[in-house]
Amino acid sequence: MMKGGRNSQRYQSRREFLKNGLYAGLNASLVGSLLLSSCGKRQRSATNVILISIDTLRADHLSCYGYQRPTSPILDKFASQGLLFEDVSTTCPWTLPAHASLLTGLYPRRNGVRAHTDRLRDDVLTLAEVLREHDFITSGIVNSHWLSKTNGLDHGFEEFLYVKEYADRTKPTRVEDEARNWLSKRRDKKFFLFLHYYDVHSDYHSLPHYEKQFVRPYNGIVDGSTSQLLDFRYGRIPLPNQADTEHLIDLYDAGVRQMDDGMERLFALLEEKNLLDNTLIIVTSDHGEEFMEHGGVLHGRTFFQEVLHVPLIMRGPNLPQGQRIKGIASLIDVMPTLLAMLGISPPPGLDGIDLQSLWQRNNAGSPKRLLFGEADWNNIVDNKTVDDIKRFIRQNHYKLHVNRVTGKMELYDIVNNPDENIDVSSKHTPLVKLMRSRLRDFLRIGRTGRTVDPLSPKEVELLKSLGYLQ
Ligand SMILES: [Zn+2]
């Protein structure tokens, strides 16, 4: 039992919310159970939820996102049976804050998890907490120390298992074993299972079978280890040349293919357990990975699309099959969307939005929507702290990168210049001014509990007059 004024208050308001949410959820469940599919056939609503996060998985290295190599036949098939969101951004390009956003529907500065030592704020409700209050068994199996209990991401999970990550990726992950064990012993009650896989993350190693398929002959020094990638990053050894970079990509792609086969084993188990037809399955990632597109490796320090763009694929009862969603989305939308699909009211004040209208009404999403991200990363390099603090704001197809340390700003049109190598900030001064001002607003809200205001009518008029909005 929590004691003390602040915590009592917190629990009172949380209880109130959960009580109201439960009431709304019951009503919505009644409606949900009567839902008809588009062909008029009565279908069952999802009763279980499996949320899968594959750490460091770049969307554009999956075949279903247009990659030219066959890295993901299983996820391609999975996407053909459900919904694929084409344009999803993370909130932060490294593991801890990105997952905190995924599990709370809040930007890092609102849930309190921005730096290595931060813990999830006590007054923030997690997806697991809300589902647990709605009688789901909640279980998490995670594969990174960032997600272990120390940072509070276990809030709401009745069972939470941290499977220690190892650099050696040549064995099938223990997360898969633990997931199989858990599903095999499952009680006869609806559940929420969160699975986090670290297999695609460096070190980039995989079984010989996968390396044979993806790794071309190479005679250089690159070995795909995190320690060597950090040596590149900090200038201890010269940056990878083109052949080195291609080798890194080959090793990474082999790992993606190996992970994809792991998904096949998981889906086969769900089928064997008769769980496929009444389980909502969501596959996503926390961030991508750099392969020298902008002069770096790994992730965590920039907001270019190679680290920002993550996959989001959903499959489940009552969901359309094979639909691709073009509207802009973010990891913060997963929690409100999932709760809405289950007929459960989301906690008030989430930053994310319910994405259902994007497929139910063929809505392309609002071009007025603003997305934000931040990376507060104080690197320790050779015993010295190096500030490296960056932010971004996205409006429609424009993304403004802001470096707080140097003051540098870059604006890219990521639709017409997906490589983000033509800075158009000097040609779009009024837009940059508006985005900069909205970014400042976002940074100011911090812990106030406020969400960011939508664009005002005056701002919408300005963007329209400049041709940024139709
Ligand atoms: Zn990560």
Cα 192 to ligand 1 centre (Å): 21
pLDDT at 384: 62
Q: Which one is predicted more confidently, 85 or 109?
A: 85
Q: Quote the ligand 1 centre to 67 CA distance (angstroms).
A: 21
410 secondary structure, DSSP code: E
Q: What is the pLDDT of residue 313?
A: 98
For residue 193, what are the β-bridge partners?
50, 139
In this prediction, residues 183-206 reach a mean pLDDT of: 90
> Residue 77 pLDDT > 90, yes or no?
yes
pLDDT of residue 114: 85
Q: Establish whether the linkage from the previous residue to 203 is cis, with ω within 30° of 0.
A: yes
Tokens of 131: 């589902």
**34 CA distance to ligand 1 middle (Å):** 39
Average pLDDT over residues 49-60: 97
pLDDT of the residue at 41: 39
**How far is the centre of ligand 1, averaged over its atoms, from the C-alpha of 188 (Å)?**
33
The rounded Å distance from CA 15 to ligand 1 centre is 32
> Fold match between 44-360 and 370-465?
no
Give 295-310 pLDDT, tens digit per residue.
Answer: 999 998 899 999 999 9
Q: What is the CA(278)–ligand 1 centre distance, in A? A: 29
- Environment class of 271 (CB within 10 Å of its CB; exposed 0-12, middle 13-18, buried 19+): exposed
What is the pLDDT, as a whole number, of residue 17?
59
The rounded Å distance from CA 121 to ligand 1 centre is 20
In this prediction, residue 368 has a pLDDT band, given cuts at 50, 70 and 90, of confident
- Measured in Å, residue 470 CA sits from the centre of ligand 1 at 36
Domain 44-360 has CATH 3.30.365.10: no
CA distances from 177 to 183, 265, 455 (A): 10, 10, 47
pLDDT at 377: 64
Q: How far, in Å, from the CA of 147 to the mean position of ligand 1?
A: 10
pLDDT above 60: residue 108: yes
Distance (angstroms) between ligand 1 centre and the Cα of 173 equals 16
The pLDDT, as a whole number, for residue 382 is 58
Locate the domains of the chain by residue range: 44-360, 370-465
Residues 6+ away with beta carbon under 8 Å from 128: 103, 138, 140, 155, 156, 157, 192, 194
Q: With 70 as the cut, is the pLDDT of residue 103 above it?
A: yes
Look-up of token digits 């496929």: 276
Least confident of 1-10, 158-167, 354-363, 445-454: 1-10
pLDDT tens, position by position, 226-284: 999 999 988 899 889 999 999 999 999 999 999 999 999 999 999 998 999 899 999 99
Query: Chain-wide mean pLDDT for the chain?
Result: 86
What is the CATH code for 370-465? 3.30.1120.10
Helix (H) or strand (E) holding 161: strand 159-162
Distances (CA, A) of 164 to 11, 198, 224, 242, 262: 33, 10, 20, 34, 18
pLDDT score recorded for residue 443: 87
CA of 94 to the centre of ligand 1 (A): 5
Q: What is the distance in A from the centroid of ligand 1 to the CA of 256?
A: 14
Dist CA 208 CA 248 (whole Å): 15
User: 332: closest CA among 156, 171, 127, 143?
Assistant: 127
Place of tokens 């890295």: 71
Q: Stretch 170-174: mean pLDDT, rounded?
A: 69
CA of 95 from ligand 1 middle (Å) equals 3
Residue 92: per-residue pLDDT? 94
Region 181-189 average pLDDT: 83
Instruction: Please answer whether residues 348 and 331 qualify as being in contact, where contact means their C-beta atoms are separated by less than 8 angstroms.
Output: no
- Comparing 26 with 228, which gets the higher pLDDT? 228
